[in-house]
Amino acid sequence: MLGGDDQAAHLALNLARLGCDVIMCTNGPVQASDPARAALAARQIRICEDPVGKVEGEPGRYVRLHLAPGWTLERRALFVHPVPRQRSGLAEKLGCAVLEDGAVQVNELGQTTVPGVYAAGDMCRTPAMPYPAAQVIMAAAQGARAAVVIDQELLFTDAYSASEQAGEPAAATPDAPQRQAGRPRPGQPGPSRPRC
Ligand SMILES: Cc1cc2nc3c(=O)[nH]c(=O)nc-3n(C[C@H](O)[C@H](O)[C@H](O)COP(=O)(O)OP(=O)(O)OC[C@H]3O[C@@H](n4cnc5c(N)ncnc54)[C@H](O)[C@@H]3O)c2cc1C
């Protein structure tokens, strides 16, 4: 594992959980928090703070780290933990709230904080999730769920604006508050499915 912060420690712990023999090469003084260091020590994950001068190897065979002051460490694989970031600034340009890790904030329905803007997949998470799920099946499910909500929102917008124009009372059913508000908002339940 190359890296010395809490995220690198977290990945090292994940790898050790799979039974790997893990060494954390921090390329200088370790920056991980005391709890993270304690967790690493409990898992017998060794920490090497020597500066890393060069990395070489053959894919699938070995990786060799050249460390100061003049020794090498050879391992089967080297992991790094790049910091994820949004590739597109579109959501932020639209005014969507962004969480501290850069993920776009959504609710369980995929609604962002901007009406009519939805998000799904790796680019977003609910505040309750510690980080985006980052799995294909989750991204697909979130996209499908957002599509259902968008479809229902369009239906309600079209059907009920038509009925309001025709002079029918808007508060006739339990769904009326959401329709009156125009759309469900984060933290509110979404539209119910039409009763057939
Ligand atoms: C190395 C690696 C291994 C993984 N292994 C697994 C695994 O084994 N199983 C698993 O379930 N998940 C795995 N994942 C996670 C999985 O790939 C993601 O969770 C999933 O692809 C997320 O889907 P998404 O649609 O949210 O984002 P993406 O698949 O990243 O799709 C986003 C798309 O938007 C495009 N895009 C970005 N910006 C713009 C723009 N401005 N304009 C137009 N297009 C744009 C990108 O080019 C990309 O095609 C892995 C991820 C990585 C990186």
Question: What are the distances in angstroms from CA 128 to CA 91, 107, 135, 187?
Answer: 20, 9, 17, 12
- Is residue 128 situated within a structural domain? yes
Residue closest via CA to ligand 1's atom 51 equals 134
Range of the domain at 47: 6-75
Residue 65 shares a structural domain with residue 119:
no
Q: Let me know whether 70 and 97 are in one domain.
A: no
Rounded distance between C-alpha atoms, residue 173 and residue 192, angstroms: 11
Ligand 1 pocket test, candidate residues 135, 137, 138, 142, most atoms within 8 A of CB: 135
pLDDT (tens digit per residue) in 44-100:
999 999 999 999 999 999 999 999 999 999 999 999 988 889 999 999 999 999 999
Say how far apart CA 104 and CA 84 lie, in whole Å.
Answer: 13
- What pLDDT score does 168 carry? 65
Instruction: Check: CB of residue 130 under 8 Å from CB of residue 98.
Output: no
**137 CA closest ligand 1 atom index:** 11
Q: Is residue 18 part of a domain?
A: yes
Mean pLDDT of 140-163: 90
On whether residue 147 sits in a domain, the answer given is: yes
**φ, ψ of residue 71 in degrees (nearest 5):** -140, 165
- The two structure tokens encoding residue 161: 């604006």
**Alpha-carbon gap, residue 63 to 174, rounded angstroms:** 63
Report whether 119 contacts 112 (CB < 8 A). Answer: yes
Question: Does a structural domain hold residue 194?
Answer: no
Residue-level pLDDT at 133: 85
Atom of ligand 1 nearest to the CA of 87: 38
Return the ligand 1 atom nearest residue 88 CA: 41
Domain presence at residue 184: no
pTM of the entire predicted model: 0.77
Burial class (CB in 10 A: 0-12, 13-18, 19+), 185: middle
Choosing from 44, 75, 106, the residue where a domain stops is: 75
170 within domain boundaries: no
Does residue 61 lie within any of the structural domains? Answer: yes
Q: Ligand 1: residues within 6 Å at CB? A: 87-88, 121-123, 134-137, 139
Q: Please check whether residue 102 lies inside any domain of the structure.
A: yes
Last residue of some domain: 75, 110, 125?
75
User: What's the total number of domains in the chain?
Assistant: 2
Residue 33 belongs to a domain with what CATH number? 3.50.50.60
Q: Which 3 state secondary structure label does DSSP give 64?
A: strand
